[in-house]
Amino acid sequence: MQKSLGLSDDILPVYLEEISSTLSGTCYKLTKPRTTAAELARSDFQTIETGMTEGHPCFVANNGRLGFGVHEYLSYAPETASPVRLVWLAAHRSRAAFTAGVGIEYESFLREELGAETVERFHGVLRDQDLDPADYLLIPVHPWQWWNKLTVTFAAEVARKHLVCLGEGDDEYLAQQSIRTFFNRTSPEKHYVKTALSVINMGFMRGLSAAYMEATPAINDWLAQLIDNDEVLRSTGLSIIRERAAVGYRHLEYEQATDRYSPYRKMLAALWRESPVPSLKDGESLATMASLVHVDHEGASVAGALIEQSGLAPTEWLRRYLQAYFTPLLHSFYAYDLVFMPHGENVILVLKDGVVQRAIYKDIAEEIAVMDPDAVLPPAVERLRVEVPEDKKLLSVFTDVFDCFFRFLAANLASEGILEEADFWRTVAEVTRAYQDSMPELADKFKQYDMFAPEFALSCLNRLQLRNNEQMVDLSDPSGALQLVGTLKNPIAEF
């Protein structure tokens, strides 16, 4: 199939390796104790997170993780649920930068995250080498990254004491579906930590750019304020978990030798993202949205289990989920030209008695864009502006939501006999129409970008990965990468 798929000689063997790795991971998942969808639907947040079998159903090679050996897979893959302690480095301030959102100060933030005792222990390691802790910033590192990359690739930085290994932190973390983000299992109310990880996984080398990190907290503060100030978004209960602080290390020689895409520029950075746990009210629980399309060994989906648990009619359950998750996407698009990357792993649902109460969007700074060329944005947020051709703008909903998520959710519910596909899409249409009716002032935009158009361009995601499996999309020009082939019928057009 190499010729018909247009696979280069460089990509083909690597893609085969990603397929092999994905199947290997599937085999591991099949050996785990069998948990029914009904049991999973009543489980806690991290049990659900580590119980997923599919993260991105659109992608064939969705669990490549090239770079992990089998022992590392067992230690660091989210489905193995192995507790991980992060390695901490001290990075010299001449090459490292810490940025944070409003009201966050480095010293106190670090003490809250690590505990005063651990900070003191780490400072002691520096003093023992006649180094002044005030000259350094602390960076959490994925253990794999330290042992497999930094110790070798950044050896000179270590030798020159630009980087000093301080040892492991005390808290235990669990890897999340996105593989390089960690949830604090010891103290769930503390921040997630997102780390650089130089493994190839689903279309990207999962590094983290030090330069990109600098504006991250400001972008998150900007979006949080926009949501707070918008009546429609507030009324849906939408929130984001902000990326509150970031730290990055710049290897000056590699920067001289490479362009901005290079994985060598993305080997050492980290960010701290708020935990959703403190925001919960009595009786509420959390689940990754990816779990809705999880199907157990008996063919039952978690979405179906939640509907049963809720006691609501399936269309009513669906309507509440859509109002929490989908209405904010519509409003962001039409009111602000603002788009998200709202796939299952990027959204957390707040549930009560099986009913979706509200949605929490995450992975903000790297995955949102403003498509209005005239939008007034603060300087730190300017990088969100992207140029997208008019006829491709609505693909942010049609492709990312309809084709890449609702399609699977609708099919599962139909195959279980819970909800016919026509009823599913009719409900999506009704929620869309209800939103549009509530915003007459945006009528011209609803006409310009027609949610009820008869068809939309088919965007082929696997082709992006087949073309370049280390950088399938340039985040500064997301539409430039699209592979459009033919069209799909819009499933809500007939309603």
Model pLDDT for residues 338-393, shown as the tens digit of each residue: 999 999 999 999 999 999 999 999 988 878 999 998 998 999 899 999 999 999 99
- How confident is the model at residue 55, as a pLDDT? 61
Residue-wise pLDDT tens digits, 152-180: 999 999 999 999 999 999 999 999 988 89
Structure tokens that stand for 402 in this block? 């309809």
Handedness of CA 3, 5, 7, 13 (dihedral sign): negative
Specify the pLDDT at position 246. Answer: 95
Backbone angles phi, psi at 88, to 5 degrees: -110, 135
User: Is the Cβ–Cβ distance between 164 and 90 less than 8 Å?
Assistant: yes
Please report the sign of the dihedral spanned by the C-alpha atoms of residue 397, residue 399, residue 403, residue 406. Answer: negative
> Do residues 101 and 244 make contact, with C-beta atoms less than 8 angstroms apart?
yes
Contact by Cβ (8 Å): 274, 191: yes
pLDDT score, position 414? 98
CA distance 448 to 253: 49
> Which among 89, 91, 92, 108 has a CA at the least distance from the CA of 100?
108
pLDDT above 90 coverage of the chain, percent: 79
Question: What is the widest separation between alpha-carbon atoms in the chain?
Answer: 73
Q: Give the model's pLDDT for residue 406.
A: 98
Separation of alpha carbons 212 and 188, rounded Å: 27
Stated as kind and residue range, the H or E segment containing 452 is none
Q: Report helix angle 116-128 to 106-114, nearest 10.
A: 110
Distance of CA 473 to the CA centre of its chain: 15
CA distance 144 to 136: 22
Displacement of CA 312 from its chain's centroid (Å): 30
- Contact between residue 281 and residue 358 where contact means Cβ atoms under 8 Å apart: no
Q: Which helix (H) or strand (E) holds 145?
A: helix 143-145
Helix (H, G, I), strand (E, B) or coil at 476: coil
pTM for the model stands at: 0.94
| Size of the chain in residues | 495
Say how far apart CA 144 and CA 82 lie, in whole Å: 14
Query: What are the backbone angles phi and psi of residue 38, rounded to the nearest 5°?
Result: -65, -40
Query: Which two three-digit tokens encode residue 230?
Result: 């918008």
Give the residue carrying structure tokens 């492709």. 399
CA dihedral 108, 114, 50, 350 (to 10 degrees): -30
Phi, psi of 385 (to 5 degrees): -70, 125
pLDDT value of position 203:
66
Measured torsion, CA atoms of residues 388, 392, 398, 404, in degrees rounded to the nearest 10: -70
Which pLDDT does position 302 carry in this prediction?
97
Contact present, 292 and 303 (Cβ < 8 Å): yes
Q: Which domains does the chain have, with CATH numbers?
A: 2-54+280-489 (1.10.510.40), 70-221+241-273 (no CATH)
The pLDDT, as a whole number, for residue 475 is 62
- pLDDT number for residue 4: 86
Q: Can you list the residues of the chain whose pLDDT is less than 50?
A: none
Closest CA to 168 of 185, 143, 190: 143
